[in-house]
Amino acid sequence: MRTAADIAGLGTVSDSLDDETTPLARAAEHVLIARQGAGQRARLPRPARTRVLVVANQKGGVGKTTSTVNVAAALAQFGMRVLVIDLDPQGNASTAMSVEHRRGTPSTYDMLVEGAALNDVIAPCPDVTNLFVVPATIDLAGAEIELVSVVAREQRLQKALAASGRIGTAAQAGEDRFDYVFIDCPPSLGLLTLNALVAGEEMFIPIQAEYYALEGLGQLLGTVEMVRSQLNSRLSISAILITMYDARTRLAAGVADEVREHFGDQVLKTAIPRAVRVSEAPSYGQTVMTYDPGSPGALSYLEAARELADQSITAPEGIN
């Protein structure tokens, strides 16, 4: 497990850190990244086609929203064009990205229930270039029930994405296409999450490093199997991210080992540390990537984003 201390080049490097760069070089690079700011950051290559990632775990408070907005912001800072779809009526992702989400704001609800076009409900994130959001208003709370009587109710999001003309390869969607779309799911396995699982091809599952971390995951994986066999055969799990990792405790290390035993290489090497700056950022309407770019939390999210992006190079047609 790669911890914040490893990333900062301060601690001992664990066995799993099979990177070719030395910790010192990595640390120096990070200092540079933090100083440079987003503008001059080296750009990552664009994936061959848009990657649509579903951030789901029906447990609340495990770091779905925090991971969505920070990985999304990190990728945008690496030069990617990134869209976050806020699918949680709480609208926490919208808040963290400083995007209006009062009732009446064009939102996910309009797209899913009213059939509004994706391009009409997108708002730019003011702090980060190339980062966009479809905000969630409280209206979305009613969507679980309202969608029940709608035709093709599980496919609403998929159809909206397909109709936007901004998802796909360069040939399909042009230079204006999104490179990454993250769908921040609510903490339940209802129709909203189902819409996300049908619309996406990859799952990004944050797991909190705590005692009951794996409890309930069986239910999520069961839902994924059902979706795969009936609604979306392309769905796969491409990343598991351990969040709120406290390197000082045996418990966190034990949980991380257990998660790795279950999921193997699907677990990102970078774990996100429990860090006050990460939890403070949303109250300033920011991601930690702009709120405190040099902090361990921000550097960890930067690494996690880079790991995720590396998958695009090894498996451009989606990960199985």
Q: Which one of residues 46, 49, 177, 274 is an interface residue with ligand ADP (CB under 6 A)?
A: 274
Q: Does residue 190 belong to the site contacting ligand ADP (CB under 6 A)? A: no
Catalog residues that contact Mg ion under the rule CB under 5 A: 64-65, 88, 92
Q: Are 201 and 235 in contact (CB under 8 A)?
A: yes
Nearest residue to Mg ion, scored by beta-carbon proximity: 65
Phi-psi region of 98 (alpha: psi -120 to 50; beta: other; left: phi over 0): left
Q: Quick one: which of 108, 98, 76, 105 has its CA closest to 282?
A: 98
Q: Which one of residues 61, 124, 142, 294 is an interface residue with ligand ADP (CB under 6 A)?
A: 61
Partner touching 318 among Mg ion, ligand ADP, none, CB below 5 to 8 Å by kind:
none
Minimum CB distance to ligand ADP, residue 88 (Å): 7
Q: What pairs with residue 54 in β-bridges?
A: 183, 203
Q: Which is nearer to ligand ADP, 58 or 130 (CB)?
A: 58
Minimum CB distance to ligand ADP, residue 25 (Å): 25
Q: Which one of residues 174, 279, 313, 316 is an interface residue with ligand ADP (CB under 6 A)?
A: 279
Q: Does residue 65 belong to the site contacting ligand ADP (CB under 6 A)? A: yes
Minimum CB distance to Mg ion, residue 88 (Å): 5
Q: Are 111 and 121 in contact (CB under 8 A)?
A: yes
Q: Which is nearer to ligand ADP, 63 or 106 (CB)?
A: 63
What does the alpha-carbon distance between residue 200 and residue 108 come to, in Å, rounded to a whole number?
16
Stretch that binds ligand ADP, among 30-38, 104-112, 144-152, 271-279 (CB under 6 A): 271-279
What does the alpha-carbon distance between residue 292 and residue 281 come to, in Å, rounded to a whole number?
8
Minimum CB distance to Mg ion, residue 90 (Å): 6
Q: Quick one: which of 269, 264, 272, 252 has its CA closest to 63?
A: 272
How many CB atoms are closer than 10 A to CB 145? 10
Partner touching 278 among ligand ADP, Mg ion, none, CB below 5 to 8 Å by kind:
ligand ADP
Q: Which one of residues 37, 60, 115, 126 is an interface residue with ligand ADP (CB under 6 A)?
A: 60
Number of residues that bind ligand ADP (CB under 6 A): 17
Q: Which one of residues 64, 81, 156, 166 is an interface residue with ligand ADP (CB under 6 A)?
A: 64
Q: Does residue 297 belong to the site contacting ligand ADP (CB under 6 A)? A: yes
Q: Does residue 58 belong to the site contacting ligand ADP (CB under 6 A)? A: no
Q: Does residue 62 belong to the site contacting ligand ADP (CB under 6 A)? A: yes
Binding site for ligand ADP (CB under 6 A): 60-66, 92, 187, 243-244, 272, 274-275, 278-279, 297
